[in-house]
Structure 1
Amino acid sequence: MERYIGMDVHAGSCTLAVISEKGRKLKDFPVETNGQALVEAIRMIPGHKHLVMEEGLQSAWLYETLNPHVDELVVAGITTSRGPKSDKRDAYGLAEKLRVGNLDKHVFKAPRQFTRLRELSRAHMTLVGDVVRAQARIKSIYRSRGVLVTGVDVYSSRRRNEWLKQLPSTSQLRATRLYDHLDFLLEQKKRAEADLLREGKKHPIVKILESAPGFGPIRAARLVPIVITPHRFRTKRQFWSYCGLGIVTRSSSDWVQTAEGAWIKSRVPQTRGLSRQHNHFLKSIFKGAATTVVTQRNKDPIHARYERILDGGTKPSLAKLSLARMIAATVLRMWKNEEEYDPGRAGLLANTRKG
């Protein structure tokens, strides 16, 4: 006896809807968003239980809490809904999609793996973003008063008084408070980075991946808790799509009929772009690694491949994208084989492609 359960999750309550294997609606009821209450509600449902919920802020906690009590638990990607909407309708809709296998996107969850490293990585990324925002606010004060500001010298504590003197007295107090806020954030970021590096050293795979082109201990420590395991991806193209580096081609009105009545593919303009459903943090990591290779790793064989792409007439932005894809493929292979980066192997591949 199979039971498909859709759960619409909110901060205060969850709505559960149960349907049979033939699609008949059996019951629906609200439950407090509380671990013990949800477990008891799930246990009261007889048969083999298949539970589905949408990805959200609480999905990792709910997955960890409810997974031992069901036969299958699926976290679905959020999709836009049109027409009438309610918690009950959404829950039944999720259950029906799970029953017929019509869920658009499954979200991978492994909350018990790399837990501490994941939390420290999130803290570090949050503080990095806060520092950038604080710096932007400081620059905006100077620009609003017609003071030309470039580079990072304006944030330095040594020349801070010289910069403040260029502002009217009415703006100096505000700028001083923002400088104090920036100093606090920089200290917190420094501590978060130390915590992240300390935790990263406890995982051998982080040590391996930091040898990848354009990588280091910070990027490796941020990558691992996001991907969890490389075996989620059978090919590098699947990994590229997940990282936002997969190329998507779009076309329409592809077929035309000849005078003889046969159908042939027409030469229609094709729009090319990158996959939009992706992990934005991973895309940032690999594009940052590509920037590092371009600006700092001139002796790396993978940089020579980048130079050849440029020499072939490719735009620098597209060449950089190709470089990011190379690095992502290299990291995936290193992780699967648990081997450090071998520049000689990269050079061999480059010479093979050149020939």
Structure 2
Amino acid sequence: MVEVSMIGLDLAKSVFQVHGLDAAGQVVLQRRLRRTDVIKFFTKLSACVIGMEACASAHYWARTLSELGHEVRLIPPAHVKPYVKRGRKNDAVDAAAIAEAMARPHMRTVPIKTEEQQAALMLHRVRRLLMSQRTRLSNALRSHFAEFGIIEPAGDGGLSQLITAALDMPGTALPQPAREALALLAAQWRETSAKIDALDQEILAWHRGNADSRRVATIPGMGPLIASAIVATVGDPGRFKTSRQFAAWLGLVPSQHSSGGKTVLGAITKTGDRYLRSLLVVGATSVMARRGKKQGTWLAALLARKTPRQVSVALANKMARTAWAILVKGGTYEETASATVT
């Protein structure tokens, strides 16, 4: 077996591509592996550094290969793309690009998630999917009812009342074919709502069993949903040197277009986890609605000169920074940051 110090591994469903370099950076190994041969190959290989894109199944393979004694680094796909040779796109080129990106001294990597973290995030991802499906079902029901002049009150409660009145009660002036079609949509909507409620209970149970999540939830505007998502997504908060770096990772800081010593700040970057960022903005909006009219506070002063959306994003940034401080330094919101959000 050749002496390999660094490997770029391109992941796939069935066929994996290996691109190996020696200590001098010379290519010494290029090989395709079937999925069933991956563990056998790396078991025989001496310990080395393995780079992979942080994509589907990457965290599983990172844990598996780490258990074999290798050092695994996950690189964001966006950071690998600049190293892909132009005009060519195949597994071998992708693996070579991963190896080259991994060799950069300042390349940022993604922390390897544990099975517990992935399980918690899976609850959130499934809930998000079902929420999207329920919204589509709600819109379809409202549109179809409107075709017969039936307009329901706003909100899920109003839609539920209308479904009961229009479909479950006899004598409603709806043609039979329409009644049957709408009954199918209504049943699907109710079933989806029940599944979302069940997921909410699972997330709440995970939150109650995690000390970090409970401490983050003491921040105003952060309930079990947001707190559990932050803790499961971030993993080790110590990898961020400052709270601003954490907020920047979430895409909650202004973008910069600066040159010649002149600093120009624009809209937020919107990088990082879109789901987590949206949860923080929604939580900040709820805080703004409850506390925005309280005079003499930072929030009221900001609302006096900025638009509500700008204020909600700024508050989301502040909440993220407070969460980082609590995760890194310990304690709760009341004990360590009682004046952060007023």
TM-score range, shorter chain: 0.7 to 0.9
The structure-2 alpha-carbon separation of the partners of 1:100 and 1:190, relative to structure 1 and needing over 3 Å to count, comes to closer
Question: Closer, same or farther in 2 for the Cα pair 1:223/1:137, shift >3 Å?
Answer: farther
SS at match of 1:75: strand
The C-alpha deviation readout for 1:10-65, integer Å capped at 9, x for no partner, is 1111111112122221121111224xx2122123334x411111121111111111
| Alignment partner of 1:61 is 2:63 | no
Q: For residues 162 and 27 of structure 2, what CA distance do their matches in structure 1 show?
A: 70
Aligned to 1:89: 93
1:272 Cα deviation from its structure 2 partner:
0.9
The one-letter code matched in structure 1 to 2:266 is R
* SS of equivalent residue, structure 1 residue 88: helix
Distance 1:146 1:306, change over 3 A: farther
Contact 2:292 2:303 in 1 (8 A): no
Relative to structure 1, is the Cα distance of residues 218 and 102 closer, same or farther in structure 2, using a 3 angstrom cutoff? closer
Q: Does 1:283 align with 2:285?
A: no
Greater mean alpha carbon deviation, residues 238-247 or residues 108-117:
108-117
Contact 2:213 2:228 in 1 (8 A): yes
Structure-2 change in CA distance of 1:331 and 1:170 (3 Å) = same
What are the equivalent positions in structure 2 for 1:146-161 lying under 5 Å apart? 151-152=154-155, 156-161=159-164
- Match for 2:34: what amino acid? E
Q: 1:125 maps to what in 2?
A: 128
| Structure 1 residues 101-133: Cα deviation after superposition (integer angstroms, max 9, x where no partner) | 374x42221224545433333333333333223
Aligned Cα RMSD in Å? 3.0
Matched with 1:39 is: 39
Q: TM-score, normalised by structure 1?
A: 0.82
AA aligned to 2:89 is: K
CA–CA distance in structure 2, aligned partners of residues 22 and 153 of structure 1: 63
Q: 1:316 to 1:146 in 2, by over 3 A?
A: same
Aligned to 2:246: 239
2:313 corresponds to which of 304, 307, 321 = 321
Count of aligned pairs: 331
**For residue 336 of structure 1, what is the amino acid of its counterpart?**
V
Alignment partners' CA distance in 1, 2:302 and 2:7: 51
Report SS of the residue matched to 2:302: helix
- Letter of the 1:236 counterpart: S
1:346 CA drift (Å): 3.9
Q: 1:205 is matched with which residue?
A: 212
Contact kept in structure 2, 1:244 and 1:275, CA below 8 Å: yes
Does residue 250 in structure 1 map to residue 257 in structure 2?
yes
- Using the alignment, how far apart are the partners of 2:192 and 2:272 within structure 1? 29
1:153–1:159 contact (8 Å) kept in structure 2: no
CA drift of 1:183 comes to 0.5
In structure 1, C-alpha distance between the alignment counterparts of 2:334 and 2:223, rounded to whole Å: 15
Structure 2 SS opposite 1:157:
helix
Tell me the TM-score normalised to structure 2 length.
0.85
Aligned AA (1:293): V
- Where does structure 2 lack aligned partners over 5 or more consecutive residues? none
What are the within-5 Å matches in structure 2 for residues 300-339 of structure 1?
304-311=297-304, 313-339=305-331
Alpha-carbon contact 2:75-2:109 (below 8 Å) kept: yes
- Which range moved further: 148-157 or 49-58? 148-157
Instruction: Tell me the distance in 1 between the aligned counterparts of 2:157 and 2:273.
Output: 33
Q: 1:336 Cα shift?
A: 1.9
Provide the residue aligned with 2:28 in structure 1: 26
Asked if 1 retains the 8 angstrom alpha-carbon contact of 2:117 and 2:232, the reply is yes
**Structure 1 142/284 Cα, relative in aligned 2: closer, same or farther at 3 Å?**
same
Separation of aligned partners in 2, 1:344 and 1:12: 50
Corresponding residue number in structure 2 for 1:260:
none
